[in-house]
Amino acid sequence: MKILSVFTNFVFVKRKIEITSVLEDYVARSLRRAGIKKVIAGVSGGADSTALLLALQSSGVEVIAIHCNFHLRGDESMRDQHAVESLCHRNGVLLKKVDFDVEAFRENKNISIEMACRDLRYDVFRKELHDSGADRIAVAHNADDNVETLFLNLFRGSGVTGLRGMLPDTGELIRPLLCFPRKEIEAYLSEKGEEYVVDSTNLVSDYRRNFLRNEIIPLIETRWPGVRKTISTTIKNLQGEERVLKWVQDELIAEADFLSMQSIFDAPDRFWLIYRFASAHGATRDIALEIFDVFEKKGGQQTIVGKSWKSGQGRLVFSMKGLNYMA
């Protein structure tokens, strides 16, 4: 029995070291690779952001934590704030707390509560990024979040850019936990002996993301076990595809202010080329569709959202006055 007990303890310690070291080593490498010395961390008190803060702290970079209190859940909102205060105090992390009147902001902007919270949160993050001279904003999105993002964008109607999900590093935002599923993050916290709060609204399927998380994806898993992992592989593949498409776009378009008719005719997908060219100059997909419609009709003159499309010299031109179609 004594030998069995020693063996069991050895296995437990080995597993603990593996899970903890893998996550923390990965986060530290991600930060070093990006040259990050100072980071802003959004911390809600939930499992993901708690794990993020601990991993950032273990990496040795300077961390400024920001907790956003939207005051939408009564006592639960204050519970979350107190949990973050305790977490940061115990780990010696500077914490900045911000209070919001979400309803007033939402009504003024005529947007959903979800979008209002997101806009308010990132406005604060970006201001602190600028004021503090930090290198990145660190957010705690995980692999399961990215699977949900793929579905949300799929249902909206999206191309590669939407289906490839969130990126691990945008140059402004870094998501060090993006390759870790929620279960591994919770296991990491368990082995660190760290508690976290649970947002009760995440358990309700009223919001689209929650509906996917709580009902749709678990249902899919009953038929296709391990589907989260395979979709994560698909996301990684699509991110590679997008990098190649970006390279092709740069080769074809670069910083040119016009596209020749010949290059459009030669393109295997004319709309793709027109859209990429137009979006590089600030045009939306809807405007690109209207440009394409004019192109297919072989000429004419048309004004679209203040931009002129003219017949002329066989090219699609961007100028300070707008985009011009000349057939």
- Full-model pTM: 0.83
Q: What's the Rg (C-alpha) of the chain?
A: 24
Model pLDDT, residue 255 = 60
Nearest to 286 by CA among 274, 298, 300: 274
Residue 125 has what DSSP assignment?
H
Mean predicted confidence (pLDDT) in 278-301: 74
Check pLDDT > 60 for residue 6. Answer: no
Per-residue pLDDT, averaged over 259-270, amounts to 81
Higher pLDDT, 81 or 283: 81
Domains of the chain listed by start with CATH number: 2-140+175-203 (3.40.50.620), 254-326 (no CATH)
pLDDT band for 273, please (50, 70, 90 cuts): confident
- Pairwise pLDDT comparison (312 vs 200), residue with the higher score: 200
Query: Which pLDDT band, with edges at 50, 70 and 90, does 287 fall under?
Result: confident
State the average pLDDT over residues 127-148: 98
Following DSSP, what letter does each residue of 39-106 receive, concatenated?
EEEE--SSHHHHHHHHHHHHHT-EEEEEEEE---STHHHHHHHHHHHHHHHHHT-EEEEEE--HHHHH
Which residues on adjacent β-strands are paired with residue 38?
Answer: 62
Report the pLDDT value the prediction gives residue 262, as an integer from 0 to 100.
76
Tell me which of 80-89, 96-105, 199-208, 252-261 is least confident.
Answer: 252-261
pLDDT at residue 112 is higher than 60: yes
* Residues with Cβ within 8 Å of residue 68, at least 6 apart in sequence: 42, 44, 98, 100, 117, 120, 121, 124
**Strands 315-319, 258-260: pairing kind:** antiparallel
- d(C-alpha 71, C-alpha 74), whole Å: 6
The mean pLDDT value of the chain amounts to: 87
Under the banding of pLDDT at 50, 70 and 90, the label for residue 314 is low
